[in-house]
Amino acid sequence: MLKVTQLHVRYGTSVTALTDVSLGVGEGEVVAVLGANGAGKSTLLRALSGTLPHHGGQVTRGSIEFEGRDLLGVSPRRIVRAGLIQSPEGRRIFKGLSVEENLRVAAAGAGIPTRHAATVRRTVWDLFPRLEQRREQSAGLLSGGEQQMLAIGRALMAQPRLLLLDEPSLGLAPQMVDSVGAIIEEIHRRGTSVLLVEQNAAMALAVSDRAVVLASGSVCATGPADHLAASDELRDLYLGGTPAPTLDGAPQ
């Protein structure tokens, strides 16, 4: 479904954020991208969703293919319409709008016809009953966890085939982290593939089929999620140890 090949990304002339990153997401898969602060995880997602230029970054080499289509140079709006959407880090929602208005705006932005948007909204309410209870409430008054749910709900309004999530558990209490994990599993069960960036490796590996570990902008380990979950090397990688060998023989 998604095939990233030897991707290089630079910010300005001096910062190389990604070097030679290759990975794939198969139809119906959940793939986790793990790595320490500054490893290049958000950069990878921004490159995929076409939102790098706003951050002064650019892809200097490599390719991104989504369902056979080359995404490099395609506008973010067209990428969303092609079925790939990113729910950005930091819960970007419209705090002055109500919960429901946030979903309406998201649907309009993704080109979902108004009639159909009500049906899609129903599926979001089913997934997040707490949001439905608060549909009239100003989004800025939601709790941190609820705002995160709304950010995911907004992305789902575009009816993506592949959902990119950037640290959905960031700043949440442990109990909420588990519910984010359960929600990702439910989104997956409903037929959406997921590329999940997380610092919470335990949660991410529990809900993923495969994982890719980034260190300093390069893939340093990749393999089935259960193998990585059992790996001591993963802990070393997070502590900034030397890159570990590929766990399943070859980079994805």
Ligand X SMILES: Nc1ncnc2c1ncn2[C@@H]1O[C@H](COP(=O)(O)OP(=O)(O)OP(=O)(O)O)[C@@H](O)[C@H]1O
> What binding mask, one character per residue, do residues 36-55 give for ligand X by CB under 6 A, x or -?
-xxxxxxx-----------x
CB of 18 to ligand X, least distance (A): 8
CB of 46 to ligand X, least distance (A): 7
Which is closer to ligand X, CB of 41 or CB of 210?
41
For 136-199, what is the HEC assignment?
CCEHHHCCHHHHHHHHHHHHHCCCCCEEEEECCCCCCCHHHHHHHHHHHHHHHHCCCEEEEEEC
42 belongs to the binding site for Mg ion (CB under 5 A): yes
> Which entry of ligand X, Mg ion, none binds 182, CB below 5 to 8 A by partner kind?
none
86 belongs to the binding site for ligand X (CB under 6 A): no
Which is closer to ligand X, CB of 37 or CB of 242?
37
Which is closer to ligand X, CB of 24 or CB of 57?
57
Using the rule CB under 6 A, give the single segment among 33-41, 91-99, 138-146, 172-180 that binds ligand X. 33-41
Which is closer to Mg ion, CB of 21 or CB of 110?
21
Which of 2, 4, 7, 17 touches ligand X by CB under 6 A? 17
148 belongs to the binding site for ligand X (CB under 6 A): no
Q: Are 96 and 138 in contact (CB under 8 A)?
A: yes
Which is closer to ligand X, CB of 43 or CB of 208?
43
56 belongs to the binding site for ligand X (CB under 6 A): yes
* Residues that contact ligand X, how many (by CB under 6 A): 15
Which is closer to ligand X, CB of 105 or CB of 170?
170
15 belongs to the binding site for ligand X (CB under 6 A): yes
Using the rule CB under 5 A, give the single segment among 24-32, 40-48, 99-107, 223-231 that binds Mg ion. 40-48
Rounded to whole angstroms, the Cα distance separating 52 from 114 reads 29
> Which entry of Mg ion, ligand X, none binds 210, CB below 5 to 8 A by partner kind?
none
Which residues here bind ligand X, judged by CB under 6 A?
11, 15, 17, 35, 37-43, 55-57, 199
